Chains A and B, each alone.
Chain A
Amino acid sequence: MNHLLVLPILLPLFTGAFLLLFNEKASSHKRVCSTAATLLLLPLSAWLIAVAGQGQFLTYALGDWPAPFGIVLVLDRLSALMVMITAVLASAAMIYAIRGDDARGRNFHALFQFQIAGLNGAFLTGDLFNLYVFFEILLIASYALLLHGSGRERTSAGLHYVLLNLLGSSLFLIAVGTLYGLLGTLNMADLARRITQVNPVDAPLIAAAGGLLLLVFALKAALLPLYFWLPRAYAGATAPVAALFAVMTKMGVYSILRVYTLLFGPEAGELAQLAPPLLWPLALATLALGSVGALAAKQLQELVAYLVLVSVGLLLAGLSLGRTESIAACLYYLIHTTWITGGLFLLSDLLARQRGDTGSALVAGPPLNAPLLLSGLFFFGAVSIAGLPPLSGFLGKVLILRSATLPEARWLWPVLLLSSLGLIIALSRAGSTVFWRTQAVEPTHRKVDGWRVFAVAFLMSGSVILVVIAKPLTRYLDQAAEQMMSPGAYIEAVLQETPP
């Protein structure tokens, strides 16, 4: 029983609660406390990766009640990876935020910590209802963070986001209820085991519940036609929040991957192929429409929001291929895209700060104070996210392309490659407008904040690191994908402690 496993949830949760004991201002003490708690997640997640990398499943039975009766946390390669991605992203967002953005609204730090607690809880839990609870935690925190800093656009986009998700939560409960009403359990491993033994007459009911879950997760992941809320919401959010939200859609992707490999995995009989036929066309359409949106974007932050959609489309398309290689490829791409879009969100804010009233609008603006540094960062991020070599985006793209076989490749390849071309056009237009088509006025004297640049560079450097460590990383991911594709071991590991 290793208590470190529960820390990624408790550390931010307690920090958040602790921060409530003080006033709502972003004081330096709170900043130190919140930043320390966030940065501590880095070594913690590194430890999780190291443990999970050995190939065992680590379980943690909360309240000492064995699965399936109590709630268990389960660490496998996938969940460790997701916690790590979140920790890195959150650290950068936090470093960026404490340079002033946190003071734009009340209680930023507490909300930020609760958001992380929700994310980590959702990644680690092995219980479906507990997943619902953590979804609610991360949602309510995200509602508040989205509105952080107020403003008309934020409020109106936030309202849509909240209302859609409220309906989503109701659907989640209906799905959980149906599964419990038929199978009598909530533990995901136990559910998976019971689904394999389900009476075929009742299978359509289980399928309906599975469909509802898919819909809920697709809403989180922002899949067509459930993504329309995203561009406005993300474009309106405060930069560190938008950056942190880069992992929110991945939360949906993660849930789809988890539920549809475990509950409706290869051993679920006729319920096994529930998701792919639905996901596949919608994911491809999301990929295509995301790049169309990127071409249409009128603001840099909006453009990045569409990049999030592109990545979701590609990830879900890749996952619906349903092969071990494609899952591994998608996981690689997932790390890359989360960090780089997060970094680009921060970067577009950094640019907007320099451009005065022009903000991040894609029109000619005043010249920048540090053009080389900023354009260099943008060029780097754009190359990476457009999937051009030699950065991680290219590797991720090639991995996914390679993992597709006929007949799916016939669709995936053209859509993906054309969408890449669309992104190249969109990003080169945006970059040349922002950096080169400048008005003939004096550059603003607003200095570029060094720590903010560091936060951006920290995330962007991930693109190089992912290439450098590609060999061990892909091995880890291959094994993670194998774990996903053979859920038997997971089920055994979670349920072995069941008393006879």
Chain B
Amino acid sequence: MLLALIVALPLLGSLLPVLLDRRGRRLPAFAAALPAAIALLTLLSFTREMQAEQTIIVSYPWLESLGLNLSLRLDGLSFLFALLILGIGLLVILYSRYYLSTEEAMGRFYAYLLVFMSAMLGIVLSENLLLMLVFWEMTSLSSFLLISFWSHRSDSRRGARLALTFTAGGGLALLAGVLLLGHIAGSFELSQVLVSGSTIIQHPLYPLMLILILLGAFTKSAQFPFHFWLPHAMAAPTPVSAYLHSATMVKAGIFLLARLYPTIAGTDWWFYIVSLTGLTTLLLGSAMALFQHDLKGLLAYSTISHLGLITLLFGLDTDMSSVAAIFHTINHATFKASLFMAAGIIDHETGTRDLRRLSGLKRFLPHTALLAIVASLSMAGVPLLNGFLSKEMFLSETLNQGLLGRFNWIIPAVSTLANLLTMAYSVRFIHQTFFGEAPKDLPKHPHEPPFYMRLPVQILVLLCVVVGLFPGQTVSELLAMAARASLGRPLPEYSLEIWHGFNLPLLLSLIALVGGTLVYFFLSRPLFRLYEKLPDAEARDVFEGTMQCLVRSAVWFTDRLENGSLQRYLALMLLGVLLITGSALWRLETWTGPVALTPLDPLTSLGLLVLMAAAIMVALSHRHRLQAIIMSSVAGLMVAMLFARFSAPDLSLTQLSVEVVTAVLLVLALFFLPWHTPRESTALRRLRDLALAGGGGALVSVLTYAVLTRPYESISPFFLDNSLPGGGGRNVVNVILVDFRGFDTLGEISVLAITGVAIYAMLEGVTLPRPEKGLGGYSWVRDRHPLMLRVVSTLILPLALLVSVFIFMRGHNLPGGGFIAGLITTAALILQYIASGLRWTTARLPLDFRRLAGFGLLTAGITGLVAPLFGKPFLTSAFTHVEIPLIGDIELASAMLFDLGVYLTVVGSSLLILANLALNGRPQDKERI
């Protein structure tokens, strides 16, 4: 419980500074320090358990199927790291209070910092690897927010994105690696994973898993070739650089190596990858650091180099080297954090971080100068300071390995060279900043910062000195317990002494110290000249260039793929159809099934032939659109006749009336559209289309033929048996529509109603051009409403309405019903519109069609709602027979009311569609229909 508190406190506490943002500067800082301080105290309360080498594990099972549990672990290693995170974190909070200016959003800054602290604590305290991963990526995110804190600056934004891309990308690799590790070990709990070392190493997936995990660790810890992001992360406010980018976050990769050391180390893979990466990074970082003119740039590359050193130590893969690695982690955190803070003070006081402009600052900042000098000497590994101790251990370890065989000497040689360079840039830092003449034209006049801004530096530098002088009394216990937890076995014999006598490591150290000084004072000029001749490749620009190139190629590719051509999309879809069904039908043994074919009769054959001819004619004459409409109507009529021929009178009637309405609609549409289609496609394109279309046609043919010649056993007898007794109607098709499958019908009239509304909505604000000339260039007939037509239509209308009532009434027992009746009514009314004009008809038929459609839909629906009142499901029908004198037996069925709804919806929607279109062509008639 207390463990969870350590992680949760900073996270919860992150709200405090935001809330107190407007209350000056002291309060947010205090609010930020409070949760961190409590967390630190809580951590320290575990000191006794840690000294007793206990491992404390608390576990809250959560997503067990995933293996993600909320379990935390505190042992020596996590204790050490948590101590660093909280301790340095508190110092940074204090420092930031003075570093940030009054205008800056201090509350937000502290909130980010605390979120980061919590995430970092989460990493080191997680027992569950997936949980650790959660915190891992959270550090990347909070680091992104902190680097981009000055988001108005372009270098901040770019630096932040660069860092995010590298670290979050590495996080993804780590995710894969951890999932593999969990898969191999059978658990994500560290206590299980840490004892499965031998299984893991022998697993065939081990190399892949190792590489993925190392990718995560190396990106986070800025190892070559993923080190680019770190120098650019220096665009962050300096406290962030001190905290995230030197003392803690970049150590997360190191922590991961230390944590997983017992399970994934100890193989050649590990040795070669880790040590060579570390070695390269060490040398590269120290060399690059020498050439930086930006104070923070120098420190950033120095950080890279030291991280390389620690990585190399883990790679050397001996127990002693791991001890040295952890020791150096502690030391680096102290001296580098203090150096960054000092650099921040210099920047803050002088307004610049350019080494070429700085000089002689010891006059103005004597205290700061002293602190910075001590810290840099520790960084260089000068005796009596903590950096010296771990560096000595490091050098002796490089001498103790033997895996490179004949090339064994490379590691100590390169290490010494890197140390030499470290000495050189440390001396450069000290000399150029603090010594020499008084600085000229600095942006600000420097003077010592407030005491509390220096205090964190003082504390850290004091630690460097004390640890350097009395390692045995100060750090040895902490180190031992961390190293033991990391190794998972007893530690080798070692002594943290300043003096080991004259030996080879000491000699190498001396070479480095003396050589480095000499290089700086005598060789730096030619070296710089050489460096300036090197091609200038700024990582951030390379990154931005790469990103822009990536985006450009993505744009290019996407534009090619989605070229906005419907014809292509349709062709692709058709191709898909043909491939999918073709591959299935390929396996069909025979197209013809066992059912005997019915003989051809001449009449039907003629009808089919006419239908075919009409279809072909439509395709051939589609450039002459009116002609094509006529041909397509012929096809529609033939379809209606086929329905009639094959025992479907209802369908035939429906098809006929739909055909009439569709034809009117097509002609009406053609009124607005061009009369002819231009010839556009190439012959090749037409051929391709024909092939695709032919394929589709063949598919339909094969399916039709194959199904029709096969037997099937339908559910239909149920409908035939129940239509009269259960549905009260003789026309089974109608009973299916209004009763058995009334829900479909309700949906279908909804579609119709929505279409009407949709068209109405769509035509808003559209003014359609009214063509001056008709087909063939003739003017429109002046007499818009011929007398003959008017008379006839006025006569027909009542007749047609009567017919539709008749059709409607008999629908339940004979062919007919709401649909057909509705369409006949529609057709008759349309005729009226055509003959007498819109205005005339509207004046005499004041119907709001949208309302009618809605009303029809509601009628049908509410009919269905009656049943639930009687405890029956929606749409359950009821019917009764009523004996009326003179007229005789009348059947009253609720289904008829439903059908009435259908009728009303059909009339309302169809007229809504047609009238809107017609109305739109007549800008002078703005009255609503």
Binding site for B on A (CB under 8 A): 1, 3, 6, 10, 13-14, 16-21, 24, 60-65, 68-71, 105-108, 110-111, 114, 117, 121, 129-130, 133-134, 136-137, 140-141, 143-144, 147-148, 150, 159-160, 163-164, 167-168, 171, 174, 177-178, 180-187, 190, 201-205, 207-208, 210-212, 214-215, 219, 225-226, 228-229, 231-232, 278, 289, 292-293, 295-296, 298, 325, 372, 379, 383, 388-390, 394-395, 398-399, 401-402, 413, 417, 420-421, 424-425, 428-429, 432, 435-437, 470-471, 474, 478
Q: Which residues of A contact B867 (CB under 8 A)?
A: 64
B503 smallest CB distance to A (angstroms):
48
Q: How far is the CB of B725 from chain A (nearest CB, A)?
A: 13
Binding site for A on B (CB under 8 A): 62-63, 65-68, 108, 130, 133-138, 140-141, 144-145, 148, 151-152, 154, 157, 160-161, 164-165, 168-169, 171-173, 175-176, 179, 547, 550-551, 554-555, 557-559, 561-562, 564, 566, 568-570, 572-574, 576-577, 580-581, 583-590, 593, 699-700, 703, 706-708, 710, 712-716, 718-719, 722, 726, 739-744, 746-748, 750-751, 753-755, 757-758, 760-762, 764-766, 850-851, 853-855, 857-858, 861, 865, 867-868, 871-877
Assuming A204-B584, A417-B175, is B576 touching A226 (CB within 8 A)?
A: yes
- In the complex the two chains form, is A421's CB within 8 Å of B718's CB? no
**In the complex, which residues of chain A have a beta carbon less than 8 angstroms from the beta carbon of B566?**
159-160, 163-164
Q: Is the CB of A205 within 8 A of B707?
A: yes
Taken together as a complex, chains A and B put the C-alpha atoms of A390 and B141 apart, in Å, by 10
Are B157 and A436 touching (Cβ within 8 A)? yes
CB neighbours (8 Å) of A229 from chain B are: 569
Q: Are B585's CB and A24's CB within 8 A?
A: no
- B850 neighbours in A (Cβ, 8 Å): 20, 24, 107
Q: How far is the CB of A15 from chain B (nearest CB, A)?
A: 10
- Give chain A residues whose Cβ lies under 8 Å from the Cβ of B748: 133, 136
Inter-chain CA distance A157–B192, complex, in Å, is 56
- Cα distance A111–B757 in the bound complex, in angstroms: 8
Q: Select one of A121, A184, A207 contacting B584, CB under 8 A.
A: A207
Q: A121-B747, A141-B758 are in contact. Are A470 and B62 (CB under 8 A)?
A: yes
Contact, CB under 8 Å: A20 / B168: no
Residues of B within 8 A of A390 (CB): 134, 138
Which residues from B are CB-within-8-Å of A107?
757, 760-761, 850
Apart from A63-B742, A63-B743, A204-B584, what are 20 other A-B pairs with CB-CB below 8 Å? A14-B858, A17-B854, A62-B742, A63-B740, A63-B873, A69-B722, A69-B740, A107-B761, A130-B744, A130-B747, A140-B754, A201-B589, A205-B707, A225-B573, A293-B562, A296-B554, A296-B557, A372-B108, A428-B164, A470-B63
Q: Which residues of A contact B714 (CB under 8 A)?
A: 180, 184-185
A478–B63 Cα distance when bound, in Å, is 12
Known: A296-B555, A398-B68. A225 touches B572 (CB 8 A): yes
Please, how many angstroms separate the alpha-carbon atoms of A203 and B584 in the complex?
A: 9
Contacting residue for A211 out of B66, B584, B706, CB 8 A: B584
B719 x A425 contact (CB < 8 A): no
Query: Which of A14, A21, A63, A159 touches B855 (beta carbons < 8 Å)?
Result: A21
CA distance A442 to B558 in the complex (A): 36
If A292-B557, A428-B164 touch, whether A144 touches B587 (CB-CB below 8 Å) is no
A61 touches B873 (CB 8 A): yes
- In chain A, what residue has the closest Cβ to B871? A1
- A184–B712 CB distance below 8 A: yes
A-B contact list, 15 entries, CB within 8 Å: A6-B873, A130-B747, A147-B761, A181-B712, A184-B715, A184-B716, A201-B589, A201-B590, A215-B573, A226-B576, A228-B562, A390-B138, A402-B179, A429-B161, A478-B65
* Contact status B554-A292, CB under 8 Å: yes
Q: Pick the contact of B765 from A20, A150, A231 — CB < 8 Å? A: A150
Looking at B744, B853, B876, which has the most chain A CB atoms within 10 Å of its CB?
Answer: B744
Q: How far is the CA of A147 from the CA of B714 in the complex (A)?
A: 42
List chain A residues, Cβ under 8 A from B876: 63-64
Residue of A394, A401, A428 with most partner-chain B CB within 10 A? A428
CB neighbours (8 Å) of A68 from chain B are 715
B contacts with A: majority SS: helix
Q: How far is the CA of A63 from the CA of B699 in the complex (A)?
A: 37
- On whether the beta carbons of A421 and B761 are closer than 8 Å, the reply is no
**Pair A134/B875 contact, Cβ less than 8 Å:** no
B542 CB to closest chain A CB (Å) equals 15
Also in contact, A417 and B573, with CB within 8 A (given A63-B875, A71-B741):
no
CB neighbours (8 Å) of A295 from chain B are 550-551, 554
Chain B residues contacting A402 (CB-CB under 8 Å) are: 66-67, 179
| Residue ID in chain B nearest A160 by CB atoms | B566
Specify which of A114, A160, A298, A421 is in contact with B172 (CB 8 Å cutoff).
A421
Looking at the assembled complex, report how far the CB atom of A199 sits from the nearest CB atom of chain B, in whole angstroms.
Answer: 8
Q: Once bound together, how far apart are the Cα atoms of A202 and B592, in whole Å? A: 11
- State the CA gap A177–B814 with chains docked (Å): 25
Chain A residue with the shortest CB-CB distance to B136: A389
Q: Please report the C-alpha to C-alpha distance between residue A261 and residue B774 in the assembled complex, in whole angstroms.
A: 56
In the complex, residue of chain A having the shortest beta-carbon distance to the beta carbon of B862: A14
What are the 8 A-B residue pairs with the smallest beta carbon separation, nearest first? Answer: A20-B854, A144-B758, A184-B714, A211-B580, A389-B134, A296-B554, A133-B747, A207-B584
B710 pairs with A202, CB closer than 8 A: yes
User: In the complex, what residues of B have CB within 8 A of residue A106's CB?
Assistant: 757, 760-761, 764
CB < 8 Å neighbour of A144 from B564, B580, B715, B757:
B757
